[in-house]
Chain A
Amino acid sequence: MIVPFGHVLILAGILFLMGMFCAVTRRNLIMIVLGIEIMLNAASIVFVGAALRWHHLEGQVFVVFILAVAATEVSVGLALIVYAYLRTGSFDPGTYNLLK
């Protein structure tokens, strides 16, 4: 392995944190979905690295699954966002505070 597994994990961790930050801090519903996507990608990096580490190809198989799931989830999410926009007229998650 050219890159030690620890470095892969660190990279994935940083990417995950950045994704979490994006999901928590941005004031736009679409950016929340984007953050989730980034977190999913970080998880798939770990899988690829693990597959290379233990020489089991199932890791990379799982990455394909993750991609599929991500795609589905984005479609559903966008549908939800469109519906939410039509109901409240805003993309800002701050206005969705009926459970205050």
Chain B
Amino acid sequence: MTSALILDPTLLAAVLASLLPFVSFLLIMVFTREFPRLSAGLSIAAVTLSLICALFLLGRHWHLQSAIQYTGRWLVSGDISIPFGFLLDSTSLLMLALVAGISFLVQIYSLGYMAGDTGFARYYAFMSLFAWAMISLTISPTMLQLYIFWELVGLSSYLLIGFWYEKFSATEAGKKAFVMTRLGDVAFFLGLLLVLVYLGNLNVLEINNREVTVRMSPVVITTSALLIFGGIIGKSAQFPLLTWLPDAMEGPTPVSALLHSATMVAAGVYLFARLFPFFSLSPTAMTVFIIIGTISMLLASTMAMVSRDIKQVWAYSTISQLGFMIMGLAAGGFFAGVFHLTTHAGFKALLFLCSGVFIHQFETNDMYEIGQYGGRRLKIPMICIVIAGAALAGLPPFSGFFSKEMILAALADLKNPLWLIAGLLGAFLTAYYAFRLIFIVLFPKELETDQPPNHGAGHGHETYWIMAWTLIILAAITVILGFFQGSLESFLGGHRSVSANHGGGQHIWLPFMALGLALVGVALAWMEFGRQGAKQVGFVERIPPLNHLFANRWHIDRFYRGFLDIVIYGLISRMCTQNDNKVIDGSIHGLSKGTVETGRIVSFLHSGMVQYRLLVIFIVLVLLTVYFIF
């Protein structure tokens, strides 16, 4: 078997890509915790090798026709067999390269950002853990293996969000993220069980096969699709489980760039793409998906319009863009959704990393303050954030323009125009809030009111240039990725999408409409924030009730807090505590008390009273008679 491993380069590459970060994690956690530079070196070496393997696989199988699968016996019970292994088809190879690439860039960036932090080695250990879990998730052949790595990704997210664990808000945010995604995962697991019961196994290829309709009735397919989507809601922060993602910004910025914009939350959308043929079998489920995607997209866009915190704007933007991707996938545009996933990973990571440079330099998350302290003087982050913001808003020639067009085209193909209108509205809002942030940083009202607390020592030239090179690479990718649309589309295979038309022929007006809306959004942002003498107060911020509603995240958090307090803590916890105190502790207590009392009664025999002994004689006689007669 080992010879098969070494002789087959594809298998070898897959194994190395997934296992090397795990080895790095183990080594760092066990041996090199005290040596930060060695830990960072190990982790970066591992992820570099993973990236090389991923690119090798991508290049070698560029003309892949059907999936390659390697499996080994794992769980076998009667008819049911759940193997472990690797599944390499176009979707997973693309995602593999994406994950490895962004992990590599973020880990290099973290050399600069996290320099001097006491938990440096621990940070790289968790980064390796995440890389292992995410890479293995993308090439899982069965849903169970995917679920295991899904949970591991959630674990590393928890560890990384609460990285600065001395800060109470960070630990609270980590806990909230984990519990909320866990809630979605319960639904996910129920859906998996349903599939397992009806289909007999959990292989992804079999689930996606059209023959699944033989074993599973439409109702079962719809139910399991909806349940699995519950997991996607949790992981990709869609409505209603979306409030953990803004709080997750408590973690270090590279973590936000890697996990909560490009890869982990994208795992939900990847799952959607993975099971796209299965989900397409149920039109009801697809309708529900598009509804949830639309709601998330619009809701999060409104929240982003009033936020002052630079990372929170991008967090809401991530929720919104993920909703947009789900809308595209649910509308039948498989390639549109996957392409937007790819481009979004690029420019969203870039946005976060640029914000990270600003936060690192000026020690504040507030965009107004960053502008005032002279954010625009950092040339490379400023240029890159403009590029990325333009990509997010969907301006040509950046990658975001091409992928947004595809999704809007997929939405236009639907019968109901509501989704297209929602998509266009979302495009307008996206452009508005993205450029609101950019203009606030670029054109602050008063420049340099205060010298920022500059920590000159240790954070100087090299850390800046490490971070800056990462930004330049990502910006370059953002610029050119759009032009790879054609080759990527043929790579992913046109036969995958259910409604295989591009809609390019029918909807000539669509690109211009979308572009026009985006430019209107940019112009509105310019009017309110960018031009000379602008008040820098948005049109929503002028309406206090709306401002209040959006800033409080539509009171979803209040609902959750109320639900927790009343139902969970008030009812269920209280019942369980009472049971614990009265029944369990009470019975043991009663048992001991009974024993003590019996002893006390029996001890009367020792008091020397003649009559008690007489009583005992009589009792024994009675018992003996009873025994002998009955």
Contacts and interface: CB of A to CB of B under 8 A. Distances in A.
B606 interface: yes
A42 interface: no
Contacts of A96: 608, 610
Contacts of A23: 611, 614
Interface string B596-627: 00000000001111111011001000000000
Nearest to A32: B611
Contact of A24 (B606, B607, B608, B614): B614
Interface in A1-45: 20, 23-25, 32
A100 B614 contact: no
A32 B610 CA distance: 10
Interface in A73-100: 93-94, 96-100
Contact of A20 (B608, B610, B618): B618
B608 A100 contact: yes
Contact of A93 (B606, B610, B618): B610
Contact of B611 (A25, A99, A100): A25
B614 A98 contact: no
Contact of A97 (B608, B614, B615, B618): B608
A97 B606 CA distance: 10
Interface residues of B, number: 10
A27 B79 CA distance: 82
Interface string B217-246: 000000000000000000000000000000
A96 B614 CA distance: 13
Contact of B607 (A20, A25, A32, A100): A100
Q: Which of B606, B607, B611, B618 has the most CB of A within 10 A?
A: B611
B612 to A, nearest CB: 8
Contacts of A98: 608
A97 B610 CA distance: 7
A94 B604 CA distance: 12
Nearest to A98: B608
Nearest to A96: B610
Contacts of B615: 24
Nearest to A27: B611
Contacts of A32: 611, 614
Contacts of A97: 607-609
A93 B618 CA distance: 18
Contacts of B609: 93-94, 97
A100 B608 CA distance: 4
B552 to A, nearest CB: 78
A91 to B, nearest CB: 12
A25 B610 CA distance: 10
A93 B607 contact: no
A20 B615 CA distance: 8
A23 B612 CA distance: 10
B199 to A, nearest CB: 75
A38 to B, nearest CB: 13
A20 B614 CA distance: 9
A14 to B, nearest CB: 14
Interface string B569-611: 0000000000000000000000000000000000000111111
A72 to B, nearest CB: 21
Contacts of B610: 93, 96
A25 to B, nearest CB: 7
Contacts of A93: 609-611
The 7 closest A-B pairs by CB, nearest first: A97-B608, A100-B608, A24-B615, A93-B610, A24-B611, A20-B618, A24-B614
Interface of B: 606-612, 614-615, 618
Given A24-B615, A97-B609, 11 more contacts: A20-B618, A24-B612, A24-B618, A25-B611, A32-B611, A94-B609, A96-B608, A97-B608, A99-B608, A100-B606, A100-B608
9 contacts: A20-B618, A25-B611, A93-B609, A93-B611, A96-B610, A98-B608, A100-B606, A100-B607, A100-B608
